[in-house]
Structure 1
Amino acid sequence: MQTINIANGPENASRLILGCMRMPALSVEDAAKMIQTAYDLGINFIDHATCYGDGEAEKRFGDAIALTSVKREDLIIQSKCGLRFDKQIFDWRKSNILESVDGILKRLKMEYLDVLLLHRPDLLYDPEQIAEAFDELEAAGKVRYFGVSNTMPMQIELLKKYVKQPLKINQLQLSLEQSQLIDQDLYMNNKTTDMSVMRDGGALDYCRLNDITIQAWSPLQYGMFKGMFIDNPEFPEMNKVLGELANQYGVTKAAIAIAWILRHPAKMQVIAGTMNPVHLTEMTEACRIDLTHEEWYKLYLSSGKFLP
């Protein structure tokens, strides 16, 4: 398993992350098998959020890890707060951040989080309240590192004016099909395609300039949770190229699609959200593949892009 050192953050972090959004569908025993499998494969980074199963993902994980041989100190546990589907709001208020972390730790049956991310921007966020919350969490030893998700560069800059802790992670959507994070640079100033439109304020380059690690979510999905593009008849050319490279490297199409993200020099992490131990094992094969420059572009163009 490839690892990276996150600047001013966790060291030796696996480049594949076990995303636990779907863990509530598993029994405690099956969840334990999933945790053990991930750890045995070298995945030491775990991603949660308060909204995953309305807290059930964290609770299931907390119950299941006790059935494994995995030690808490051998894992990097991350969770996110801010999405309140129960009230149909996004909430970055100090009170919600503090209450959320207490709830997370109770459900996980743990004393601290390695990483806390603010989950999607609250349009009414007050950076001074966030700074106070982070200070209290750090002083209490409840959270070691902090970051954001789906957050624009200028929003991070505003947070940095008040928050003293380094914000060193930004969780962003990226897949071979949903590649808007990188498209705009190629099509800059090209009025013939809406792929020239900057939709994220230059988040990729901003994160690279500021040593912020990008965590790519939904690496095998198209659209906004519409489904997988792997073996989807809507994407014949992409699957043709994925299949050719999968055969060449002796891996699955999913491994090739993840290797495409890992090949980017931004040194991103990729969130694997499968709850199938076999599929997770197949995905980790991506870490042994180093796609060539030509193969990377071949995949990119197969997803419907074109060279201007």
Structure 2
Amino acid sequence: MKKIKLGTELEAGEISLGCMRMDKLSVDEAARVIDQSVEVGIDLFDHADIYGRGVSEEVFSEALKKSSTKRGDIILQSKCGIRKGFFDFSKDHILNSVDGSLKRLGTDYLDILLLHRPDTLMEPDEVAEAFAQLKESGKVRHFGVSNQNPMQIELLKRAVAEDLIINQLQLSLVHTPMIDEGFNVNMQNDPSIVRASGVLEYSRMNDMTIQAWSPFQHGMIEGVFVGNDDYPEVNAKLQEMAEKKGVTDSAIAIAWILRHPAGMQPIVGSMNPERIKQIAAASDVELTREEWYELYRAAGNELP
């Protein structure tokens, strides 16, 4: 698998594995998922303190012990800030959440910590204090955000000394607002509505890696569009290109994201080792500019 830079320093496989559903697996099943992922070049494993109410992190920890994979050979990332009924970027919550994740994951450090959903009651100085303490103690090595727009990030950066190397954002062939707004500048059609505040270009200018979550989903994790009869045109094009390239339709959907020069890292949520292997083949797929645009249009997007 090809490697990319997360930010400017940390190197990782260009596809990562999201562990939200790992709580549904046995420890042996999870161990096979980890080993298969590493075998095909996936070395970043994405967690959050709320996934499976913490059970996903616990299963991962036990599975890692049974796998042939060593902790030092992978990148562990977790997120915090979502609580029942509200968001919380307070210093105490960030510190307590990290301690909880470290305990559940059975590790002394997180490679990356992300703030999960924007908290409008955020005090940047509090976040800065938490990050500085986590960095100094060795509990967290790198930091980032998730689902934030450029101004929210700039507000954080006024206080936070550490580089913010990642922004997790929803992106799939059928969920493309960050791309749509760039095509439809100064238009009066629906795609011209600025929903992403230029976050795609902002990320490229500021060396923030976009981690594309739900790359197979439509809506907000309402279901997959790949193989879904409600999306006939895009699936026909995916199948056509999959046959042409000798991979699966899911691999083409990921290759479409990888083709973008922003250097995004899709987060794949499959817990099926064979499917993970098939999806990882996307790293070897080369899409032409024409093919990328064919898929974009097949997903229902009109160019101005």
What SS does the corresponding residue of 1:114 show, helix, strand or coil? strand
Change (3 A) 1:115 1:150: same
- Structure 1 residue 72, shift from structure 2 partner: 0.7
What SS does the corresponding residue of 2:173 show, helix, strand or coil? coil
- Which residue of the partner structure matches residue 173 of structure 1? 170
**Cα RMSD for the two superposed structures:** 0.8
Query: Does structure 1 retain, via aligned residues, the 8 Å contact 2:255–2:286?
Result: yes
Identity %: 53
2:7 and 2:89 map into 1 onto residues whose CA distance is 24
Query: Does structure 2 retain, via aligned residues, the 8 Å contact 1:10–1:76?
Result: no
5+ residue gaps, structure 1, are none
What SS does the corresponding residue of 1:117 show, helix, strand or coil? strand
Write the deviation string for residues 214-271 of structure 1: whole angstroms up to 9, x where unpaired.
0000001111111011111111110111010000011110000000000000010010
- Which residue of the partner structure matches residue 240 of structure 1? 236
Write the deviation string for residues 18-55 of structure 1: whole angstroms up to 9, x where unpaired.
10000000001100110111011111111000110111
TM-score by length of 1: 0.97
- Which residue of the partner structure matches residue 216 of structure 1? 212
- Which residue of the partner structure matches residue 14 of structure 1? 13
Letter in 2 for 1:199: R
- Which residue of the partner structure matches residue 33 of structure 2? 34
- Which residue of the partner structure matches residue 80 of structure 2? 81
Query: Does structure 1 retain, via aligned residues, the 8 Å contact 2:7–2:166?
Result: no
Letter in 1 for 2:302: F
- Which residue of the partner structure matches residue 135 of structure 1? 132
- Structure 1 residue 69, shift from structure 2 partner: 1.2
1:116 and 1:127 map into 2 onto residues whose CA distance is 16
What SS does the corresponding residue of 2:10 show, helix, strand or coil? coil
- Which residue of the partner structure matches residue 158 of structure 2? 161
Query: Does structure 1 retain, via aligned residues, the 8 Å contact 2:258–2:265?
Result: yes
| Residues 1-308 of structure 1 aligned to structure 2 (within 5 Å) | 1-11=1-11, 13-85=12-84, 88-191=85-188, 193-308=189-304
Letter in 1 for 2:104: R
2:146 and 2:4 map into 1 onto residues whose CA distance is 19
5+ residue gaps, structure 2, are none
- Structure 1 residue 8, shift from structure 2 partner: 4.0
What SS does the corresponding residue of 2:142 show, helix, strand or coil? strand
Write the deviation string for residues 115-156 of structure 1: whole angstroms up to 9, x where unpaired.
000001011000000000001000100000000000010111
Letter in 2 for 1:228: V
Query: Does structure 2 retain, via aligned residues, the 8 Å contact 1:150–1:170?
Result: yes
What SS does the corresponding residue of 1:162 show, helix, strand or coil? coil
